[in-house]
Amino acid sequence: MKPLFYINPAFLFLLWISPLRAQKGEGFKYEITLSTDNDALVAWQNKDRYYSFGLGTEIAFKSDRLLGLEKLFPSKSDHFFSTEVKAEGYTPTNKFASIELFKNPSSGFDRPFAGILYGNFKVNYAFKRSFVDFSVLAGVMGPLSSSDAIQEWFHKEITGGSVFDAWKYQISNQFIFNLRSKIVYDFTPNNNWIDLFGSAEGQLGNLYIDFTSSLGLRIGKFGEINQTVAFGNSILSKNKKFELYLQSSIGTTLAAFNGTAQGNIFRRNSENTLDTINHSYIKASSGIYFSYHKVSIALDHFFSFGEVIPNEDHVYARFIAKFRF
């Protein structure tokens, strides 16, 4: 069964805003991002569990006016907006367990199957040595997301892997809504080949409630922290800007709720959801980033140590391609 291919509504939105006066100055007006997350992209292992896959498309654009958001933070040096559509799938370790196991988590089930499909709107404000962004996410969790069909197609047509019929025990359909904010600050903005930065991020809604603080390091040829590919704001970079660098980070997350494991925040709506999750864990990332003129590509690895389930580690990789015009 072939998956549904989702069209980013930003394409239609861009047609609507195109008559508006774009921001002046050297650079780009739009940026298209294609991304795929998968533990199959990790060279040294492929466990196909927990956060199993993600597939998304995003369009960033500049506009002098949109919903009055351009009036916030008068001291900003620049800003842009973006819309994203993404599908994600989450699977347990024991995907081929018996029906009895999936109906009785205490007998060995570690987390439920879960699929989500959402749209995300974000505004990003750039400052001299930092940036801050705010986003609103809305979508569905459950069979309506078609995450099971996407994974089935990928395994049948691309990897030749197994098909997991236990997706029928996934978390039930529900509406999801989340708010998110992130700030990144450059501690060494005058360094050319090595850079230290810090970040803080918070999420609130019926999908995730958590807070993460991190420290990171960049080594190589990179742009300013508010216009570089690793942080998703390369639309603000100048024409013919060249980047090639390594970036790593490590941080701590305090988590109060995870809807992909616990289901409905107000009531238990599925048999296999978890009653509790690990509330504190370490996460890290390490990747390589390239950007020149209109094109950027990157491969990043994300590590979590005890997310959702204590003492359980997980790693997946993300490949992204960006095109600016």
The answer to the question of residue 107 being in a domain is: yes
Residue 197 to residue 189: CA distance in whole angstroms: 9
* pLDDT for residue 40: 81
- Whether residue 65 is contained in a domain is answered as yes
The CA-based dihedral angle spanning residues 287, 290, 296, 302, taken in that order and rounded to the nearest 10 degrees? 0
Work out the average pLDDT over 173-192: 96
Question: How many percent of the chain have pLDDT more than 90?
Answer: 69
Q: Is residue 3 in a domain?
A: no
Q: Mean pLDDT, to the nearest integer, of 233-240?
A: 91
Query: CA 52 to CA 260: how far, in whole Å?
Result: 12
Evaluate whether residue 177 is within a structural domain: yes
What residues contact 12, with CB distance under 8 A and at least 6 apart?
A: none
pLDDT tier at 302 (50, 70, 90 boundaries)?
very high
Where does the chain have alpha helices with state H? 10-17, 99-103, 147-154, 259-262
Domain of 206, in residue numbers: 10-324
Q: Let me know if residue 4 belongs to a domain.
A: no
Q: Is residue 5, in this structure, part of any structural domain at all? A: no
Number of domains in the chain: 1
**d(Cα 247, Cα 217) in Å, to the nearest integer?**
6
CATH number of residue 227's parent domain: 2.40.128.140
Q: What is the dihedral sign for C-alpha 317, 3, 136, 274?
A: negative
Instruction: Please report whether residue 2 resides in a domain.
Output: no
Tens of pLDDT, residue by residue over 119-172, are 999 999 999 999 999 999 999 999 999 998 888 887 777 766 666 677 888 999
